[in-house]
Amino acid sequence: MAEIENVLITGGTGTFGTSYIINAIENNWHKRIIVFSRDEFKQVKLARFLKSRYLDKIISAKDFSVELDNCEIRFFIGDVQNYSRLELAMKDVDLVLHAAALKHVPICEYNPEQAVYVNIVGALNVAKAAAVNGVKRVVALSTDKAADPINLYGATKLCLEKVFLGSRSYYHDTTSFHIVRYGNVIASRGSIIENLCDKNNTKFFLTDPIMTRFWITIEEAIELTRFAIKNGTSNEIFIPKMKSLEMKNVFRYIRPDVEVKIIGRRSGEKKHETMISNNDMFKTYDLGYCYGVSSEIYHSNIFDGKDPISLKEYTSFSVERLTKEEFLKKINGTMVKELNDTIL
C-alpha cells in the first residue's frame, strides 16, 4: 500500500526528480507520480528509460504515461511560471515536491529576470496552486547558497524559502509547507564531478584550490526529503549534517592526472559556503538525523522540548572534512552516474 497516493514533482526530469521516481517505484512510496517539467525531450527519455528498466512491471505504456503494477507515472509539459497549468496539474495531488529552478550561478547572474521569474514567481505559483487544490503537503528544495546569499541564485532561493514559509498566512487550513536545504549533489548533471569522471576531459579550470564545498549524494538528498515528508508539521527548514572538502582535493581524489588552471573566484562565488546563517542559530535545533530551523512567526511541534543548538557556525570551512575513502565511496555509490549515461 502506497504511503501517499499522488505526488507531483516540479522539475521532475532533473537529477532529484528522476532519482526520486526510481526510489519511489522500487519502494512503493506512491500510487501516482506526475512529472511536471518544460523539456519534452527529457520527458521522452525518462519515459523510455522507465519502460526499459521496469519492463516486467508494465501494465500499460502510452506516450503520456507509464503504468506499472504498483505506480503510474504521468507526464505534464508545463512551466512553473504558468500558474493555470500548475493548478490543472495538481488536481487530486496529495504531495508536491518543488525541485524546478534555475540553479547555475553565472547563468542566473547573466539572466536575472529569468532567475526571478522561475525561482521566485514559480514558487509563488506552486504555493498558490497547491493550496487551491487542497494539496496536503509541499516540500521545496533549497540550497546552502540561500544562507547569507551573495549571488542572485542564492537570493532567489532565500526568497523561495520565505515564500513557502510565509504561505501559512494564506493557506494554513489546506496545506503545510516545508523546506529541505542541502549542498552540492555529487555527480549531478553539469557538475564539476560529472565532468571530472568523464575520462575524455583532461583540462580543467579551477577558481580557488582551497575553496571548500559541502557534498551530498542524491540518495542522502532524497532521504532528507523523506524525513521532511514524514516528520514535518509546518514551516520548518531541514538541513543535513554534512562534511565538506577543499576543491583541490576534489580534483586530486578523482583525477590526479588532469591539467588544472587556476583562474580565481568568479563573481558571486563564496570561498566557503554557509549552511545555517549565524543569525538563525538561535532558532536551530538538533533533530538527531538532521538540523531543523524554526520559523520565527509560526511554531512547529517538531521542536517541542528541544533547546537551540550550541554551534557557533555551520560552514563548509568549520565542519569536518571528507576523507578520500569517504568521498570516493560517495561518488561510486550514487545512482546518478548511471542516470547521467542514460537520461540526464
CA angle 92, 97, 335 (to 5 degrees): 125
Helix count and strand count (H, E) for the chain? 13, 18
Are the beta carbons of 224 and 182 closer than 8 angstroms? yes
How far is the CA of 130 from the CAs of 21, 86, 137, in angstroms? 20, 8, 8
Are the beta carbons of 151 and 106 closer than 8 angstroms? no
Question: Grid coordinates representing 330?
Answer: 560517495
What residues contact 207, with CB distance under 8 A and at least 6 apart? Answer: 247, 262, 263, 264, 265, 266, 269
Mutual orientation of helices 152-166 and 122-132 as an angle, nearest 10°?
20
Question: Grid coordinates representing 81?
Answer: 511560471
State the catalytic residue, choosing from 42, 103, 128, 145: 145
SS3 track for 216-263:
ECHHHHHHHHHHHHHHCCCCEEEEECCCEEEHHHHHHHHCCCCEEEEC
3-class DSSP state of 196: helix
Q: Is 324 a known active-site residue?
A: no
Are the beta carbons of 97 and 136 closer than 8 angstroms? no
Catalytic residues, by residue number, are 145
